[in-house]
Structure 1
Amino acid sequence: MREVVKNEKTNLLQLEEHFYQLNDVAEPNVFRNLFPYDEVPKIAFNDRIVPHNMPEEIWITDTTFRDGQQSRAPYTAEQIVTIYDYLHRLGGPNGKIRQSEFFLYSKKDRDAVYKCLERGYKFPEVTSWIRANKKDFQLVKDIGLRETGILVSCSDYHIFYKMRMTRREAMNQYLSVIRECLETGISPRCHLEDITRSDIYGFVIPFCLELMKLMEEYQIPIRIRACDTMGYGVNFAGAVIPRSVQGIIYGLTTHAGVPSELIEWHGHNDFYKAVTNSTTAWLYGASGVNCSLFGIGERTGNTPLEAMVFEYAQLRGSLDGMDTTVITELAEYFEKELGYVMPDRTPFCGKNFNVTRAGIHADGLLKNEEIYNIFDTEKFLNRPVLVSVSNTSGLAGIAHWMNTYYHLEGERAVDKNSELVHLVKEKVDQQYDDGRVTVMTDAELTEMINDCCQKLQIEL
């Protein structure tokens, strides 16, 4: 008979949870009803609702140099150190960007790690991602890292089709590798690959229960990273596992007994859900969300780190020391130094993310920028709101565009009485007199302004 016990967190009486044992099936369960390969995956519901369970403290971890680097040309050691410096500044004195993970395979990888460690920053903590063998564990220890990531694929797609094992064989192999890691005094971070296609109660929870036993035995933290490798996770209330993000987090915390501070969510954006799924993981009990700068990662990418900075601020009502102006500096560094092409409409970073183009919107923006700007983008991102120029912009609109685009302030600023502004407006008006219906692009305006400056023999 199940015992009635008091939940010390909710102060409610609950029936004691079931004991979950490994279900060592003979045939793989690939949830063909949810993932028919020749159809679009299905989102099913059973209307089982789990409660919000926001941890007392939440944070961001970074995978720019690991998962992010798997989808682009490798960074140089110098570039890694520069980006690491930016992450340190962005995370602020309270270390809201808690960790950053690195490869250790090559000398270049290790050189970058040594240089980052020389910075002496408490945050982001330098962690690694290695092959699961004793030689690599010793390498982590020799370098002086406290924690390393270990791949522990958990869906039957991987266990049966890739590893050619049974669930029992896979679990035993994983546990032996993790025990080896613990023997060296290193804290393992278990990357539960493909968790959104796994048997949560038949494999994931029994496996995590064993991990918690190892943690108690060795008195070394074991972190669980729930990896939505294919982006199948959904955050809809009442959706069934394994696709339900809140269902997965609830299972880890309630049934497997994993503390929130040892759980992090790693999302991919295959179905445009990386950000909402990461936020949901926070709301339902994961302290960490694992991200990559600008979402750069395999296939459609990872959860964008900069997005979760602003998700954090919205949930907590504070940035808690994070310096969001660094996001703009990082975007400029990626474009100028790394040749990364930032899509113009990328939130917070793209060239046009806070540019108002519609004439009627521009008119409202000129009267009060709060009408059409998401927040004070100049304060938080060093990105003043821009107004696009069209036939309805008028002299004031053109002057506003020039002052913001060229950062003209004080005596350098132009107004609607400026000869330069009048000359530019004449050129703009001619475009629309000739039948133009679209707004002027930045490139067209800068070319016009350059021509007018040459004609007037002035410089901006």
Structure 2
Amino acid sequence: MAEKDLRLVDTDKPNLYRETFPYSEFPKVIFDHERVEYEIPEKIWITDTTFRDGQQAKPPFMPEQILRIYDLLHEIDGGTGLIRQCEFFLYSERDRKAVELCQERGYEYPEITGWIRAVAADFKLVSQMGLKETGILTSASDYHIFLKLRKTRSQALSGYLDIVKAALDSGVQPRCHFEDVTRADFDGFVLPFANELLKIGDDYSQPVKIRLCDTLGFGLPWPGVALPRSVPKLVQGLRKIGVPAEQLEWHGHNDFHKVLVDASTAWLYGCCAANAAIFGCGERTGNPPLEALVVEHAQLKGMTEGVNYAAITELAEYVRKEMNFEIPRNYPLVGRDFNVTRAGIHADGLLKNEEIYNCFDTEKLLKRSVGVAITDKTGAAGIKHWVEAHYDIQIAKHDPRIVKIKDLIDAEYAADRVSVISDDEMFAWVGEVFGTDVPALRS
């Protein structure tokens, strides 16, 4: 792209893309039918925003809780650099205490980075904490530049560039967060801004990173979708003006249920880093789930030696028990019912071959054995599966004792029960039906 195409387009009025974002209606999907090619980087990785964006949706985490999560992220990463960085707030004493505790660990991964406003005074916090990199809020859309900051594009750009230079002068690598990029004027502001950052990076011999922030979840993964909502065209447009893949990062939100596919799409089109938070926590609808991106990475690039996938389960157990995280029972990978079936025909299939109704070896990879929940739909096969999962016994589904337990369950639902049968009830019924021949419990 020629240099003349990268000059800032200053305007008197904001471009709010009303044909795409009417506000009084749902946003529109606009197709231009122009496709771009995949450009999957050789290495792709995850960055974490649990301690920044994640905390914006939850009560503040205690420093000791942050430390434990940080330890578990390090354990999942296994020294591979898959979970490359974590970003932290730096404003409160509690924030700084958490950073200090994590710094004491001395881990290479995840690297500790900061997040600040585009204010020169905030760099004192970064320097005081001894951080090498920090994110800087640099809003990109006219919604933010005109309506929030009350500035023109040229005024906003000038201020952003000054703060980037201040970061580099202080020895800190800046990461510019292009807030609301999926409503921004790509040719008129985003590309000129990115081009100026490339020049500054050359002048300082220090790369400036760019985080593409889909602040309201407007990003779309489909080929042929027009800017500014097109994730492929946002990433590829920056790649074409010379922004290296390793300097690009995607940060999404889940307002329209596309947060994971958008992050994966960014990887596919030339963005090395995908920003995430554990179990999709984050402001409003949340960020890409970190654990989902770990598994997505394994699907795209293959299993990574050293990554401890099973520690995902340990992380879920910790935040559920110690931090009251509400993880829905049917939540993928870590929900209590993730690999639990209620249908009798499914349970029968599991007994014949687990692969029929289990998406991968959950016991090996996540330390989550497949389970069966007992309802009126479970059937004898499901009861057999439950008994064998909890007791050291192999038993036929037509065994009179299994039939007797099924009769007890059927009687409950015949009396208008609507809830599932609890494990405690099942243990009691097994004791009643088996009598003195109750088998030993599995460890």
TM-score norm. by structure 1 comes to 0.90
1:398 corresponds, among 365, 379, 383, to 383
Conserved in 2, the CA contact under 8 Å of 1:138 and 1:184?
A: no
- Equivalent residue runs for 1:290-305 within 5 Å: 290-305=275-290
Within the alignment, does 1:188 sit opposite 2:174 as a pair?
A: yes
Per the TM alignment, residue 20 of structure 1 is displaced from its structure 2 partner at its CA by 1.3
Per the TM alignment, residue 208 of structure 1 is displaced from its structure 2 partner at its CA by 0.6
SS of equivalent residue, structure 1 residue 19: helix
Per the TM alignment, residue 79 of structure 1 is displaced from its structure 2 partner at its CA by 0.2
SS of equivalent residue, structure 2 residue 5: coil
Deviations 1:147-202 (A, max 9, x none): 00100000000000000000000000111111111110100010000000000110
Per the TM alignment, residue 142 of structure 1 is displaced from its structure 2 partner at its CA by 2.6
Distance 2:382 2:229 in 1: 49
Q: 1:173 to 1:322 in 2, by over 3 A?
A: same
1:134 corresponds, among 105, 108, 120, to 120
Question: AA paired with 1:321?
Answer: G
Within the alignment, does 1:449 sit opposite 2:427 as a pair?
A: yes
Distance 2:166 2:371 in 1: 57
Question: AA paired with 1:252?
Answer: L
Per the TM alignment, residue 388 of structure 1 is displaced from its structure 2 partner at its CA by 3.3
The aligned counterpart of 2:412 is: 431
1:269 corresponds, among 251, 254, 259, to 254
Distance 2:13 2:357 in 1: 56
Distance 1:314 1:29 in 2: 39
Per the TM alignment, residue 109 of structure 1 is displaced from its structure 2 partner at its CA by 0.7
Conserved in 1, the CA contact under 8 Å of 2:344 and 2:380?
A: no
Deviations 1:222-249 (A, max 9, x none): 1100000000000111100000000000
Conserved in 1, the CA contact under 8 Å of 2:31 and 2:224?
A: yes
Question: AA paired with 1:441?
Answer: V
The aligned counterpart of 1:71 is: 57
The aligned counterpart of 2:319 is: 334
Deviations 1:24-74 (A, max 9, x none): 011100100100010110000111111111111100000000000001101
- Equivalent residue runs for 1:83-122 within 5 Å: 83-122=69-108
Within the alignment, does 1:415 sit opposite 2:391 as a pair?
A: no
SS of equivalent residue, structure 1 residue 127: strand
The aligned counterpart of 1:218 is: 204
Structure 2 unpaired stretches of 5+: none
Per the TM alignment, residue 93 of structure 1 is displaced from its structure 2 partner at its CA by 2.1
1:198 corresponds, among 184, 201, 206, to 184
SS of equivalent residue, structure 1 residue 28: coil
Structure 1 unpaired stretches of 5+: 1-14
Within the alignment, does 1:357 sit opposite 2:338 as a pair?
A: no
The aligned counterpart of 1:19 is: 5
Conserved in 2, the CA contact under 8 Å of 1:102 and 1:126?
A: yes
Conserved in 1, the CA contact under 8 Å of 2:342 and 2:377?
A: no
Per the TM alignment, residue 430 of structure 1 is displaced from its structure 2 partner at its CA by 2.7
Per the TM alignment, residue 396 of structure 1 is displaced from its structure 2 partner at its CA by 4.9
Question: AA paired with 1:449?
Answer: F
The aligned counterpart of 2:267 is: 282
Per the TM alignment, residue 431 of structure 1 is displaced from its structure 2 partner at its CA by 3.3
Q: 1:391 to 1:42 in 2, by over 3 A?
A: closer
Per the TM alignment, residue 398 of structure 1 is displaced from its structure 2 partner at its CA by 1.6
Per the TM alignment, residue 414 of structure 1 is displaced from its structure 2 partner at its CA by 5.9
1:146 corresponds, among 132, 139, 146, to 132
Distance 1:234 1:393 in 2: 40
Identity %: 50
Question: AA paired with 1:32?
Answer: R
Question: AA paired with 1:430?
Answer: A
The aligned counterpart of 1:82 is: 68
Conserved in 2, the CA contact under 8 Å of 1:363 and 1:393?
A: no
Per the TM alignment, residue 75 of structure 1 is displaced from its structure 2 partner at its CA by 0.5
Question: AA paired with 1:368?
Answer: N
Q: 1:166 to 1:385 in 2, by over 3 A?
A: same
Distance 2:426 2:299 in 1: 41
The aligned counterpart of 1:155 is: 141
Per the TM alignment, residue 454 of structure 1 is displaced from its structure 2 partner at its CA by 7.1
Conserved in 1, the CA contact under 8 Å of 2:77 and 2:83?
A: yes
- Equivalent residue runs for 1:164-179 within 5 Å: 164-179=150-165
Within the alignment, does 1:310 sit opposite 2:295 as a pair?
A: yes
Deviations 1:261-315 (A, max 9, x none): 0101001000000001000000000000000000001111111111111111111
Distance 2:359 2:326 in 1: 24
Deviations 1:332-366 (A, max 9, x none): 11111011121111000111111122222221121
Q: CA RMSD in A?
A: 2.2
Per the TM alignment, residue 387 of structure 1 is displaced from its structure 2 partner at its CA by 2.5
Per the TM alignment, residue 19 of structure 1 is displaced from its structure 2 partner at its CA by 3.0
Per the TM alignment, residue 442 of structure 1 is displaced from its structure 2 partner at its CA by 4.9
Conserved in 2, the CA contact under 8 Å of 1:396 and 1:415?
A: no
Distance 1:115 1:403 in 2: 45
Within the alignment, does 1:231 sit opposite 2:202 as a pair?
A: no
Per the TM alignment, residue 436 of structure 1 is displaced from its structure 2 partner at its CA by 6.4
Per the TM alignment, residue 395 of structure 1 is displaced from its structure 2 partner at its CA by 4.9
Distance 2:407 2:43 in 1: 57
Conserved in 1, the CA contact under 8 Å of 2:344 and 2:379?
A: no
Distance 1:188 1:367 in 2: 56
Q: How many residues align?
A: 437
The aligned counterpart of 2:45 is: 59
Per the TM alignment, residue 413 of structure 1 is displaced from its structure 2 partner at its CA by 4.3
Per the TM alignment, residue 421 of structure 1 is displaced from its structure 2 partner at its CA by 5.0
Within the alignment, does 1:252 sit opposite 2:232 as a pair?
A: no
Per the TM alignment, residue 92 of structure 1 is displaced from its structure 2 partner at its CA by 1.8
Per the TM alignment, residue 132 of structure 1 is displaced from its structure 2 partner at its CA by 2.8
Per the TM alignment, residue 423 of structure 1 is displaced from its structure 2 partner at its CA by 5.2
Distance 2:377 2:19 in 1: 55
- Bigger drift between 238-247 and 350-359 goes to 350-359
Conserved in 2, the CA contact under 8 Å of 1:365 and 1:387?
A: no
Conserved in 2, the CA contact under 8 Å of 1:20 and 1:205?
A: yes
Conserved in 2, the CA contact under 8 Å of 1:61 and 1:289?
A: yes
